[in-house]
Structure 1
Amino acid sequence: MKVVMYKSFVVRIYPDEVQENFFTNQFGCCRFVFNTFLDAKKKAYTENMEYLSFYDCSAMLTELKKSKTWLKRVDSTGLIESLKNLENAFNRFFNQISKYPRHKNKYNPVQSYKTNNINNNIRIKDKFIRLPKVGWIRFRTHQKITGQIQSVTVKQKASGKYFISILCKNVIRHIFKSNNRSCGIDLGVSRFVTINTGKIIQFPQQNKIIQLNNKIRRLQRKLSKKEFSSKNYNKIKKKIAQTYEKIHNILDYHFYKIAQQLTEKYQVICMETLNIKGMLKNSRLSRSIQEKSWHMFTKNNRTKRAYEHGRTLIHIDQWYPSSKTCNNCQYYNDKLKLNNRTWTCPQCGNTHDRDINAAKNIQREGLKKI
């Protein structure tokens, strides 16, 4: 079965020196437009009680280009998208979703701009992609980019690498053949993933992750002794960003494989909703919890795998006592402590492994929602 959808493909690009300079100028111009019209909106409201709409700002931008001629050298679509981002930021502020918009900073570790596909000015040929006012850039990807290109977002990460996110329309997703199998997943610290069948998946490359985290600590100690924004400061800061990126790539690869295995086998996947903020208040476990990247794992299951292949992902209530409830007779053991890895139900006499019992309860509770 094939279903049409939108999908973004994130690929790495390799610009030459001229193209890198263009991206630096484009990022700077987008920041300038955002900050200038943020001040203009604030001034118009405080002095005249007027609100400048997106169309007012767009007309003012046209006039601004006459005096700031360097704004004409970059992609104009990217500047318009900055105005749209500013408008969305104010809408989120008015709807009490986020705080009042702040100025963009050139020291932000991630710089980006967005451009739209107009009259086929963005197209792909072999391993090259053409961007407006940039030309052809070589990119690398392991997946086939399909569908109609809608827009492209160019990003420069803290490590100095360039990536683009290509949003495509009419992408065909391949849905797995449906079955009646379901599973419950319990996430933990000592055991990363426990499935109700008794299968345990340990945290990927634990020793490698520990080594990289120790390297980050050493580099951060060196960074604290350097003068801010000096050459040596920026060198160490870049090394820290590259090490973080290594950790992210390792986890993303292994989480992707785990999610692929689960979605191929099970039609319904039930997971617990974790109160991570509350759990981080435990000073003994906060670092271990943070390093497990539970949010990243659930995101791989939710957006990258379950939706793409037509599977159902269910999150149960975070306050459901999955570990303290007997999966056989539903007896609630309120005396169970965190260090009790096994316990015997006083009502039915069954002995439970804490994590497997929780996974079974999560499965049963999740299937109730269907």
Structure 2
Amino acid sequence: MYKSFVVRIYPDEVQESFFINQFGCCRFVFNTFLDAKKTVYSDNGEYLSFYDCSTMLTELKKSKTWLKRVDSQALIESLKNLENAFDRFFKHLNKYPRYKSKYNPVQSYKTNNINNNIRIEGKRIRLPKVGWIRFRTHQKISGKIQSVTVKQKASGKYFVSILCKDVTRHVFKINNRSCGIDLGISRFVTINTGEIIHFPQQNKIIQLDKKIQRLQRKLSKKEIGSKNYNKIKKKIALAYEKRHNILDYHFYKIAQRLTEKYHVISMETLNIKGMLKNSRLSRSIQEKSWHMFIRILEQKAYEHGRKLIHIDQWYPSSKTCNNCKYHKEDLTLNNRTWTCPHCGNRHDRDINAAKNIHHEGLKIINQIQY
């Protein structure tokens, strides 16, 4: 199994200077060969392949000697990124590749582990052309290192994403427990058993959102590119990073608890992009970060050998009575509870939806097994 471990590193002034040069050289290579591809195609109607660009890069290093001072593998990876961008463009998966800017708040480069030139000893990691750097993490890094990606975030902090292979999966024992979960705005996660998991650190997140709004108002009054503008921009990046870290920590805890307890977890397939078109609910949906939670839950389910079942997004989980399967067409978002006119059962909207999702998930898993 492949897995990446993200750790924060603490470079000294010399190492930080090298990272800045490395980011610049990778950006230069990407932009130079993007321009070369455009020129060759417009002049001759031919396409420069990755191998053509790699040969040209070797010649370019003879005139641009400063390219030899940085990690050569990172420059090759820039060419691979460019080739991948064009492949995705030809498959209509993304737009035409654009030039990289040094003003982008996030800068990164990738390099590969060759002849054990990347290794970890204790709380230090060795990177090519950089040397040993201190890092901090709460995870136990295991497996064989394949590559690393060094990234500088908008807050100015440096991180390394370490991609490892042959990582052992911690598979939990199989049990007969299953559940259905319903994601919501007022109640973050509702389980079919009636358990409700509220949105983590709600008051803290609200305070951070207000702080971000206040700083953004200040930023709009500053001259673009000035020192005060950059100071406030960095404060905004730190606030966003803190918000992300709080959610990331608590979402992992929720996902870990669900995967430990249940072997089969059923949930709805949410069309989040479509839901964001609702002007009244778009802000609340964005604040709940459903996509981030679903991604973490999928990751945890895979790591621990659990089954995550996605129900059809058009399945009427809220409008269907879980007892007699009566379908109530006139149910609106304002109706938090409703009584089934057929069997007389009174339902809590979210718990009823979670029960229906649970039943539908069991149907799907039985169809897969048989």
* Matching of residue 294 in structure 1 with residue 290 in structure 2: yes
Paired residues for 1:157-306 under 5 Å: 157-303=153-299, 305-306=300-301
Distance 2:141 2:285 in 1: 36
**What letter corresponds to residue 16 of structure 1 in structure 2?**
D
- Determine if the alignment matches structure 1 residue 105 to structure 2 residue 108: no
* Corresponding residue of 1:45: 41
Q: Specify the alignment match of 1:18 in structure 2.
A: 14
2:358 maps to 1:363: yes
- Cα distance between partner residues in 1 of 2:361 and 2:101: 44
Residue type at the aligned position of 1:45:
Y
Give the alignment's TM-score, normalised by structure 1. Answer: 0.98
Q: Displacement of 1:282 after TM fit?
A: 2.0
Query: 1 CA distance for matches of 2:280 and 2:84?
Result: 40
What SS does the aligned partner of 1:307 have?
helix
Give the AA of the match of 2:3.
K
- Deviations for 1:127-179, whole angstroms, at most 9, x for unmatched residues? 10000000000001111111111000000000000000101111111100001
Alpha-carbon separation, structure 1, partners of 2:185 and 2:239:
23
Deviation for aligned residue 1:320: 1.1
Cα shift readout 1:311-344 (whole Å, capped 9, x = no counterpart): 0111111111110011111111010010001111
Give the alignment partner of residue 326 of structure 1, picking from 301, 321, 326: 321
| Cα distance in 1 between the residues matched to 2:289 and 2:142 | 30
Aligned: 1:69 with 2:65: yes
Q: Distance in 2 between matches of 1:368 and 1:99?
A: 40
Kindly state the Cα deviation for residue 281 of structure 1 after the two structures are TM-superposed. Answer: 2.1
* 1:216-243 deviation line (CA, Å, top 9, x unaligned): 0110011011111111111100000000
Q: Which residue of 2 aligns with 1:9?
A: 5
CA distance in 2, matches of 1:236, 1:137: 29
SS in 1 for 2:166: strand
CA distance in 2 between partners of 1:367 and 1:56 (Å):
54
1:338 and 2:341 matched: no
Aligned CA RMSD, in angstroms, stands at 0.7
- Give the letter aligned to residue 197 of structure 1: T
Question: What's the CA shift for 1:213?
Answer: 0.4
Q: In the aligned structure 1, how far is the partner of 2:168 from the partner of 2:285?
A: 37
What CA distance in whole angstroms lies between the structure 2 residues aligned with 1:207 and 1:142? 26
1:312 and 2:292 correspond: no
Range moving further from structure 2, 283-292 or 256-265:
283-292
Distance 1:293 1:13 in 2: 27
Aligned to 1:349: 344
CA distance in 2, matches of 1:11, 1:318: 36
SS of alignment partner, residue 339 of structure 1: coil
CA–CA separation in structure 1 for the residues paired with 2:307 and 2:87: 32
Once the two structures are TM-superposed, the CA of residue 364 in structure 1 deviates from its matched residue by: 1.1
Q: Distance in 2 between matches of 1:143 and 1:284?
A: 40
- Aligned-residue offset at 1:106: 1.1
Distance in 2 (alpha carbons) for counterparts of 1:237 and 1:365? 47
* Equivalent residue pairs, number: 365
Q: Percent identity?
A: 84
Alignment gaps of 5+ in structure 2:
366-370
* 1:365 Cα deviation from its structure 2 partner: 1.2
Equivalent residue for 2:141, pick from 145, 148, 152? 145
Looking at structure 2, the residues matched to 72 and 142 of structure 1 have their Cα atoms a distance apart, in angstroms, of 36
Report the Cα offset of residue 278 of structure 1: 2.0
Q: Find the residue that maps to 1:300 and give its secondary structure.
A: helix
- CA displacement at 1:348 relative to structure 2: 1.2
Counterpart in 1 of 2:368?
A: none
> Which position in structure 1 is the counterpart of 2:74?
78
> Which residue in the other structure is 1:125 paired with?
121
How far is 1:274 from its partner? 1.2
